[in-house]
Amino acid sequence: MSEFDLKITGGTIATSAETFEADVAVRGTQIVAIGSDLGDADRVIDASGKYVLPGGIEAHCHIEQESSSGIMTADDYYSGSVSAAFGGNTCIVPFAAQHRGQTLKDVLETYHGRASSKSVVDYSFHLIVSDPTEDVLHKELPKAIEDGITSFKIYMTYDRLIVDDEQMLDIFAVAKRHGALTMIHAENNAMIKWMSGKLVETGHDAPKYHALSHPRTAESEAINRAIALAGFVDAPILIVHVSTEAGARIIAEARYDGRKVFGETCPQYMFLNAEQMDLPGMHGAKLCCSPPLRDRASQEEIWRCLQNGTFQVYSSDHAPYRFDESGKLNAGPTPAFPKIANGLPGIELRLPLLFSEGFMKGRITLSHFAALAAGNVATIYGMDHRKGSITLGRDADIAIWDPEVQRVVNAEDLHDNMDYTPYEGMEITGWPTTVIQRGQVIIEDNELHVERGAGEFVPRRTIDLTAMPGRVAPELDPAHNFGVDLDL
């Protein structure tokens, strides 16, 4: 009998902290040795000339989720997870969306049912909270957190999802008390509605006008407000899908002040711009997402904020709606832009795009790539005891990247259930050719080697906020408020 089940030899390993040459050995589901001259193994993978990196964790994706207007995403947990795996991911954290009137218990049961029988990679969920009733706040959210769902998203826009400032404070206070992280879709609802109304009234209802209807200031105003509200109760927040430099600066400044604030951006804000929406007919609908694409200068600014660490998280925001009546054209063949489903696909290309344009072109180091692919997300979302690094004792979730592979993006080559990709025609250098999940090779030779349902639910821990001091607002501090203790 061999000492190990699997050994990966000759590769260059990267974690968020360092890059080094070594062999990796796996027994069962875990990494058990890293070094040279390790013992023999049942199977040896030669990774000479390749990079041995943590399996990606895609922490912002919409899979088998009904939008607030009832449109189902094109990907279910099978196609979505297969596409994620082909893109070098071994774990996904999609949303379990509460629509108003639903209990969180029912929502989570539904999503566990959807994922457990289909996902080929490990998974967790972030809740979307749209109806913060007393029960939700004081019973259901604490229970969900206890069960390992330690993050939830709220929306500052969309009529059917929006929570107002007072509700945000309620949610932040619960998150603070129980150690959860609130993710925020930060856009000013009134500005979007006002601009959309003006544009449509004046006949500007083609898809490209969607980009104008969500002004940059709508994002920065909402980010500012979210940070002020969360900062008041000293609760940790993560601003998702940041599209503007103004928004990024507010996040950077809050972090400079020690506030408990994280930032995320997405490939669409680095690789695409609104000029590309100026297409004939409805084709611009393929690029309608919220926040919208901005301009070329903004792409460079978002890159810079990724490089300088303002964004710790880089996610696809995969929100797959096909260019047909099941998705983008759900409201008819020529809907005005406010009726077009929002979102772009990108779960398979998130990492190849960053590897190619970021690491291979010298914009980020390999360690920074590993951090953005998996390490940062594992830490921020409470999975780093199991995932996100090539480290002894962690799950053997590994993606072997071949820097020699050259590909031109073509929607037909992707494994999602979409009929287009916004990245069509882009040239990519480097690809994850072997993907290993908990010691099992799941992708090799361009083929899937895993059954549906092989992925497991990963209960997550609460967030570690060491080195993020935050502050107590004087009005909430008994030393400065006549001794009032609100026991938040």
Q: Which residues bind ligand DUC (CB under 6 A)?
A: 62, 185, 240-241, 289-290, 317, 319, 342-343
Q: How far is CA 349 from the centre of its chain?
A: 13
Residues 54-93 that bind Zn ion (CB under 5 A): none
Binding partner of residue 23 among ligand DUC, Zn ion, none, CB cut-off 5 to 8 Å per kind: none
The residue among 50 and 60 lying less far from Zn ion, judged by its C-beta, is 60
**Distance in Å, CB of 67 to ligand DUC, minimum:** 8
- Angle subtended at Cα 333 by Cα 329 and Cα 336, rounded to the nearest 5 degrees: 75
Q: Is 129 exposed, middle or buried, given 0-12, 13-18 or 19+ CB atoms closer than 10 A? A: buried
**Distance in Å, CB of 266 to Zn ion, minimum:** 8
What is the distance between the alpha carbons of residues 357 and 361, in angstroms, rounded to a whole number? 5
The residue among 317 and 384 lying less far from Zn ion, judged by its C-beta, is 317
The residue among 53 and 230 lying less far from Zn ion, judged by its C-beta, is 230
**Distance in Å, CB of 62 to ligand DUC, minimum:** 6
The residue among 185 and 368 lying less far from Zn ion, judged by its C-beta, is 185
SS3 labels along 265-308:
ECHHHHHCCHHHHCCCCCHHHHHCCCCCCCCHHHHHHHHHHHHC
Query: Is residue 456 a contact residue for Zn ion (CB under 5 A)?
Result: no
Contacts of 149 by beta carbon, 8 Å cutoff, 6+ apart: 96, 108, 124, 125, 126, 127, 460
Q: Tell me if 258 sits within 8 A of 471, measured CB to CB.
A: yes
**3-state SS class at 384:** coil
**Distance in Å, CB of 261 to ligand DUC, minimum:** 18
Beta bridge partners of 152: 127, 182
**Distance in Å, CB of 223 to Zn ion, minimum:** 13
The residue among 184 and 436 lying less far from Zn ion, judged by its C-beta, is 184
Residue reference for tokens 């995969």: 318
Cα–Cα nearest to 305, from 348, 250, 230, 380: 250
Window 173-202: contact mask with Zn ion (x via CB under 5 A):
------------x-----------------
Of 170, 317, 357, 416, which lies in the binding site for Zn ion, with binding defined by CB under 5 A?
317
**Distance in Å, CB of 285 to ligand DUC, minimum:** 14
Binding partner of residue 342 among ligand DUC, Zn ion, none, CB cut-off 5 to 8 Å per kind: ligand DUC
The CA distances from residue 38 to 7, 237, 436, in Å, are 8, 43, 19
Give the binding range for Zn ion (CB under 5 A) out of 168-176, 314-322, 417-425, 447-455.
Answer: 314-322
Please report the DSSP string for 15-81 in residue order. Answer: -SS-EEE-EEEEETTEEEEEESS---EEEEEE-TTSEEEEPEEEEEE--S-B-TTSPBPS--HHHHH
**Distance in Å, CB of 198 to ligand DUC, minimum:** 21
Q: How many residues bind Zn ion (CB under 5 A)?
A: 2
**Distance in Å, CB of 15 to Zn ion, minimum:** 27
Binding partner of residue 58 among Zn ion, ligand DUC, none, CB cut-off 5 to 8 Å per kind: none
The residue among 241 and 259 lying less far from Zn ion, judged by its C-beta, is 241
Binding partner of residue 230 among Zn ion, ligand DUC, none, CB cut-off 5 to 8 Å per kind: none
Peptide bond into 291 cis (omega under 30): yes
The residue among 16 and 67 lying less far from ligand DUC, judged by its C-beta, is 67
Which string of b and e fits 235-271 if b means at least 16 CB within 10 Å? bbbbbbbbbbbbbbebbbebbeeebbbbbbbbbbbbb
The residue among 78 and 321 lying less far from ligand DUC, judged by its C-beta, is 321
DSSP 188: -
DSSP 136: I
**Distance in Å, CB of 373 to Zn ion, minimum:** 18
- Name the site residues for Zn ion (rule: CB under 5 A): 185, 317
